[in-house]
Amino acid sequence: MKTKILFFVLIIAHNLQALEVTTKLNMTGNNYGIVKQGTLYYTQGGLDVGYTTDQTISRGYVEFSLANIPTYATITSAQLHLQAFQKYISVATKSTILIKGITNWTLAGLAPEGAWTALNSSTTTLYNNAINYYDAIDLTGTALINYISARKGNNVGLGIINKYETTDGIAFSTDPLDLYLSVKYTITVPSIPSELVVSNINTTSCNLSWTETSGKSKGYNVYNNGVLIGSSKNKTYSASGLTSASNNIFTVSSFNEAGETSQSSAIGVLTKPLSPTNLSASTSCGSTSLSWLGSTGQISGYKVYKNNVLLTTTTNLNAQIDNLTASTQYTFSVSSYNESGESDKSNVAISTSTMPSSPTNAVIRYFVSPGPGYVLTWTASSTTVKGYHIYQQSPPMGLIATTTYSSYVLGTSFQPNQTFMYGVCAYDENGCESPLATTGFSSMQKQKVKANNLISSDINSQAELNLYPNPVVNKLYIDGISQTFDVVVTNLQGQIIKSETKLSNSIDLSELRSGVYIIKIKYDKTEIIRRIIKQ
């Protein structure tokens, strides 16, 4: 079997954006001979067709590759040239040759009988005539064009059969000069891409997709701001390496062997910004000050997150977060955004509030002795504090006192029938104040004060006792009693704090915490109740 050769002859002509090509195709390596000898079948490498040595009958199968003919090409003409290499002289008659198109046949995996039948029963007969050994077949026409057109981009197979399989035959040469397929086709420029769509916009990339209706495109060129950035065989493209937060104008053109179309309608894409960097936090008095380095490009602003929850937006490179809970750790992060979306979050900044916690249970109570007057009491802050600031809010007076105790006597002289509002806050060594705990009262006319409005009063109004000093620091002295008496000290909730029988006129209260207490003194059949303030 002679060497197989594949070569092309290209004739190119530009006419109204059309390309005309002529190509000459020789046999590929997928060529077989099938020999029948009696009831047995054999394969062979040559293509001897039809003869008969020791009752041998054979058929041939040849392939040509159309892989280089684009599926969008239009085949305008085709010619199959077949030259007999030899005719056996034992019979002088012509050999009747069938040439059939084989669209789905391979020797591999088939029994010889099946392959034999497939070659004989193919439905596309391209040639049916008798030839002499010196005759050449130059087969052309619509049937051959249609058969090849249906196989563009693939292989085309031909079965060559001696129709009567008599003791007469022809051996066909594999020389390219004797057996080849010549095809002429045209290619026109595809249509301009349309319906350009962008998706999945990120900081440095986005996805593009489009349509092209002619089906004649070999590929597509993608342009950004008029500069070619890449090509694609499909109607999609992933644009990468873009600048963050920048405007990009994309267009697409189609191309094939005949040329390139104009560019499509443009679509504008603004990429997402990069994350802000170097976020830092500085905390003072219940507030945290944040600052960061901004993102470059077209930025609409920044989003500030506290504990991963969006807190606020700003166009600045800093933000102040107020009203933080005392001794509480917070995490902060920042992202940038524009109309295309939001960046990833920045690094995390951690801040712990230094603000003291507020006092609680602020209340104002009326007392008779010494007085009458009003006392503001509260439950101490749960954090370490330096002291407390007392503010008169209504009528407004501002800061009126500073104390280290949990009570403060507001005074004994108030204009009657007026409402007063006060607030108490804790402050620390840095001067940071907690939120105010507020309360108030309405002053009364003395002559209209009723017993149920008094928190402490004399049960025995005839008894004359003098308790001093009040407020008391350590010892409380009692004048007006000269006998043994029982004393009980309770807090405002009625819990007994101290209880003892006294022979002297002093009571040691140094162990009591600062606050307001009720003291009961009982002797004989007399019981005296007083309110005292421990400082």
pLDDT tier at 480, thresholds 50, 70, 90: confident
pLDDT at 430: 82
CA distance 246 to 298: 6
- Closest listed residue to residue 201, CA positions, set 82, 298, 95, 325: 298
3-state secondary structure 353-398: CCCCCCCEEEEEEEECCCCCEEEEEEECCCCCCCEEEEEEEECCCE
In this predicted structure, the answer to whether residue 361 has a pLDDT above a threshold of 80 is yes
CATH architecture classification, 458-534:
Sandwich (2.60)
Q: Which fold has domain 194-270?
A: Immunoglobulin-like (2.60.40)
CA distance 231 to 237: 8
Least confident of 90-104, 207-221, 263-277: 90-104
pLDDT at 328: 86
pTM of the model: 0.60
Least confident of 124-133, 175-184, 386-395: 124-133
Amino acid at 230: G
Mean pLDDT of 113-125: 71
pLDDT at 6: 28
Mean pLDDT of 140-168: 83
Tell me what percent of the residues of the chain surpass a pLDDT of 70.
79
pLDDT mean across residues, the chain: 82
Q: Hey, which bits of 141-293 come out as E strands? A: 155-162, 170-172, 179-188, 194-199, 206-211, 219-224, 227-232, 236-239, 247-256, 259-260, 267-270, 277-284, 287-293
CATH of domain 360-452: 2.60.40.10
Domains 194-270 and 458-534 share a fold: yes
CATH of domain 277-352: 2.60.40.10
Which residue ranges make up each domain of the chain? 18-188, 194-270, 277-352, 360-452, 458-534
In this predicted structure, the answer to whether residue 333 has a pLDDT above a threshold of 90 is yes
In this predicted structure, the answer to whether residue 285 has a pLDDT above a threshold of 90 is no
Least confident of 10-19, 229-238, 276-285, 443-452: 443-452
CATH class belonging to 18-188: mainly beta
Continuous H helices in 135-230: 142-149
Q: 64 pairs with which residues across the strands?
A: 156
CA distance 304 to 349: 11
Give kind and range of the element (H or E) at residue 133: none
In this predicted structure, the answer to whether residue 20 has a pLDDT above a threshold of 90 is yes
pLDDT at 342: 96
Cβ pair 328, 343 in contact under 8 A: no
pLDDT at 110: 57
pLDDT tier at 417, thresholds 50, 70, 90: confident
Q: 349 pairs with which residues across the strands?
A: 332
In this predicted structure, the answer to whether residue 44 has a pLDDT above a threshold of 90 is no
If one compares 474 and 251, the residue with the highest pLDDT of the two is 251
Please write the tens of the pLDDT for every residue from 164-193.
666 556 666 666 677 889 999 999 999 999
In this predicted structure, the answer to whether residue 425 has a pLDDT above a threshold of 90 is yes
